[in-house]
Amino acid sequence: MRIESSAFTHQGEIPSEYTCEGQDLSPPLAWSDAPAGTRSFALIVDDPDAPDPAAPKRVWVHWVLYDLPADQSSLAEGAKHAPPGARDGTNDWKRTGYGGPCPPIGRHRYFHKLYALDTALGDRGAMTRAELEAAMQGHVLASAELVGTYQKRR
């Protein structure tokens, strides 16, 4: 399975329009080669370099989506919340939807992790990353990862 963005390459810099210094839009994402038996997808976007890449203390969660339909293969730019049929989880700002890169210091890495699941999870509310990971246990058929980087200019 593969995930990519037309906005940035793997290990490349995320353009500012997808960050707190720009419009804070979610980047366009597309995926392919999901395994047979995929019933839904889940997406987690997080930053393992918070607050400082030289001394990371936690993983900051930027976006949690689940129950993306199995026949879906992309998210459009600016898809701030779950598209029809999918469900929003809770990010580390304690809200649903996308929150873009906004690192306090240094260049951070942002992991866009897509999971193909053998089931739809159903409405479990606005799950956190940890709750989603627990719910997915035993149901992940494949996963793919896209990493982008960002450092504030101001």
Q: Where are the alpha helices (DSSP H) in the chain?
A: 129-136
Quote the number of domains for the chain. Answer: 1
Of 65, 66, 64, 35, residue with least CA distance to 142:
35
Predicted TM-score (pTM) of this structure = 0.97
CATH number at residue 40: 3.90.280.10
pLDDT digits (tens, 9 = 90+) for 54-84: 999 999 999 999 999 999 999 999 998 899 9
Q: What residue numbers bound the domain in which 143 lies?
A: 2-150
Please state the rounded mean pLDDT for residues 25-51: 98
Whether the pLDDT of residue 154 is over 90: the answer is no
Of 65, 128, 56, 53, residue with least CA distance to 92:
128
Whether the pLDDT of residue 37 is over 80: the answer is yes
Residue 60 to residues 11, 33, 70, 82, 102: CA-CA distances in angstroms? Answer: 18, 28, 27, 20, 11
How far is residue 129's CA from residue 154's CA, in Å, rounded to a whole number?
Answer: 30
Pairing status of strand 140-150 against strand 12-13 = parallel
pLDDT digits (tens, 9 = 90+) for 91-138: 999 999 999 999 999 999 999 999 999 999 999 999 999 999 999 999
* Coil, strand or helix at 53: coil
